[in-house]
Amino acid sequence: MTRANSEKIFSKAQKLIPGGVNSPVRAFRSVGGSPLFIARGEGSRIFDVDGNQYIDYVGSWGPLLLGHRHPAIIEALRETLETGTSFGAPTTREVEMAEAISSAVPSIEMVRLVNSGTEATMSALRVARGFTGRDLIVKFEGCYHGHVDSLLVKAGSGVATLGLPDSPGVPKSFSDTTLALPFNSTDALEQAFRQRGDQIAAVIVEPVVGNMGCVPPAPGFLQMLRDITARHGSLLILDEVMTGFRVAFGGAQQLYGIRPDLTTLGKVIGGGLPIGAYGGRADIMNRVAPAGPIYQAGTLSGNPLAVAAGLAMLLYLKSHPQIYAQLEARSAALCAAAPRGTTVNRVGSMFTIFFTDQPVTDWESAKKSDTARFADFHRTMLDAGIYLPPSQFEAAFVSAAHSEEDIRTTARCFQGFSAS
């Protein structure tokens, strides 16, 4: 299997783009070797510029719940292209999209579309601070909510992958307004609220963490977040950029029966095009400009192409609910084949194989994983035609396009790898 073309393009890319990539985690830094340059995708497959094909378990980091180039999404894009690409003015489809999101996620009484998950979480924080008049935000170590200045504190995903202490460029005054606590720890949270509860604007959490690798909430943890924020007049923000429409049609809040004040979305709701969204209680969202004074804006927010792809995705999922049972069954079968000596965390079709034989319940336990062995595993799978996220601290994704044969093929490769 040659990757000469990828390597050649990568060496040029590094002269023009920082690290040769437009997002750090794509650079394969923690698994070694050069990133593959992808020529095209189809269903569960991606094809690199050297003509190699792979079963894809990254799925663009979550958006491609239906796999690459699903006909419903491609058709919606083709049809929309006939009418234009962007108007900077409202369109009917944006109202249909708002309706589709709100009907799927009842806690989202009103919603604003933006262009990325980062914009969604950044805006949700501002709204929470504006609504409560408070400054402090609570987040959890290993959770990643996009590259928002005040949330790049003990963050997961690429920050954890690259072992960055946090990021230069974030003023101390910003990070001073962020309390980063251990995920799944109630003691630390209760202490923070005892000491500073009346200053805490919101708690933001990935209800199922994907960004330290997949880490589910401990039983009762999310309910405890809901109770303690309500008791102190703070808001609960569920960052469902990854879990929204992924772990259930109604997201993790449907799965765990939690009603947050605000939710952030992205990835799946764009069907592979750039999008984000934040929404929640109408009394909060009506404080957002121009209805209220809290400002947030975006030239391409509600872009017709992104909305067309996203709406096609949501309508398809709504009319094919059996997809979630299929995702559950095939993901479970795949994870049952994980190499011996590893710990697998999975919720629905998002999972991580941790190279540790200990439970992984938070960042402290996740970072004990043997990242060198993970790198061996990643390389071995790549050579076998299996494309996994190039980081121990990321979630992998099964899509509706992954066939039973794909799962069997991948399972055989997993089983053939010795984790000892």
Instruction: Count CA atoms within 13 Å of residue 181 on its CB side.
Output: 21
Of the candidates 239, 261, 362, 406, the residue annotated as catalytic is: 239
Identified binder of ligand KE4 from the candidate list 56, 141, 206, 362, rule CB under 6 A: 206
146 binding ligand KE4? (CB under 6 A):
yes
Question: Which is closer to ligand KE4, CB of 8 or CB of 126?
Answer: 126
User: DSSP of 268-315, one letter per residue?
Assistant: GGGTTSS-EEEEE-HHHHTTBTTTSSB----TTTT-HHHHHHHHHHHH
142 binding ligand KE4? (CB under 6 A):
no
Q: How far is CA 342 from CA 71, 90, 336, 358, 367, in A?
A: 37, 50, 11, 8, 14
The span of 41-49, 106-114, 159-167, 236-244 binding ligand KE4 (CB under 6 A) equals 236-244
Contact 366, 212 (CB under 8 A): yes
Q: Which of 248, 283, 297, 253 is nearest to 109 (CA)?
A: 283
Alpha-carbon distance of 327 to 216, in angstroms, equals 17
Identified binder of ligand KE4 from the candidate list 207, 210, 271, 390, rule CB under 6 A: 210
Least distance in angstroms from the C-beta of 73 to ligand KE4:
18
Contact 94, 346 (CB under 8 A): no
Note the Cα 173 to chain centre separation in Å. 27
Alpha-carbon distance of 306 to 374, in angstroms, equals 35
Alpha-carbon distance of 343 to 332, in angstroms, equals 14
Identified binder of ligand KE4 from the candidate list 28, 61, 131, 256, rule CB under 6 A: 61
Identified binder of ligand KE4 from the candidate list 28, 57, 144, 354, rule CB under 6 A: 144
Question: Which is closer to ligand KE4, CB of 182 or CB of 207?
Answer: 207
Residues 100-119 that bind ligand KE4 (CB under 6 A): 116-118
Q: What is the DSSP letter of 211?
A: B
246 binding ligand KE4? (CB under 6 A):
no
What residues form DSSP beta bridges with 43? 68
239 is catalytic: yes
316 is catalytic: no
Identified binder of ligand KE4 from the candidate list 44, 123, 161, 211, rule CB under 6 A: 211
Least distance in angstroms from the C-beta of 35 to ligand KE4:
12
Question: Which is closer to ligand KE4, CB of 77 or CB of 350?
Answer: 350
Least distance in angstroms from the C-beta of 350 to ligand KE4:
10
Tokens of 153: 């504190």
Tokens of 200: 């805490």
Question: Which is closer to ligand KE4, CB of 117 or CB of 271?
Answer: 117
Per-residue x/- track, 16-55, ligand KE4 (CB under 6 A): -------x-x------------------------------
Question: Which is closer to ligand KE4, CB of 44 or CB of 157?
Answer: 157
Alpha-carbon distance of 278 to 107, in angstroms, equals 11
Residues 271-330 that bind ligand KE4 (CB under 6 A): 276
Q: Using the structure block, give the residue that is written with the tokens 């690798």.
A: 213
Q: How far is CA 204 from CA 107, 272, 345, in A?
A: 16, 25, 21
388 binding ligand KE4? (CB under 6 A):
no
Residues 120-139 that bind ligand KE4 (CB under 6 A): 121
Least distance in angstroms from the C-beta of 34 to ligand KE4:
17
141 binding ligand KE4? (CB under 6 A):
no
Of the candidates 267, 316, 387, 406, the residue annotated as catalytic is: 267
Of the candidates 144, 316, 324, 387, the residue annotated as catalytic is: 144
267 is catalytic: yes
Q: Which of 320, 242, 315 is nearest to 93 (CA)?
A: 315
Least distance in angstroms from the C-beta of 408 to ligand KE4:
27
Least distance in angstroms from the C-beta of 322 to ligand KE4:
26
Question: Which is closer to ligand KE4, CB of 48 or CB of 206?
Answer: 206
Q: How far is CA 289 from CA 277, 283, 284, 292, in A?
A: 15, 13, 11, 5
Least distance in angstroms from the C-beta of 255 to ligand KE4:
15
Residue nearest to ligand KE4 (CB): 117
Q: Which of 215, 211, 116 is nearest to 161 (CA)?
A: 211
Q: How far is CA 221 from CA 122, 157, 206, 224, 394, in A?
A: 24, 22, 12, 5, 22
Binding interface with ligand KE4 (CB under 6 A): 23, 25, 61, 116-118, 121, 144-146, 157-158, 206, 210-211, 239, 241-242, 266, 276, 394
Enzyme catalytic residues? 144, 239, 267
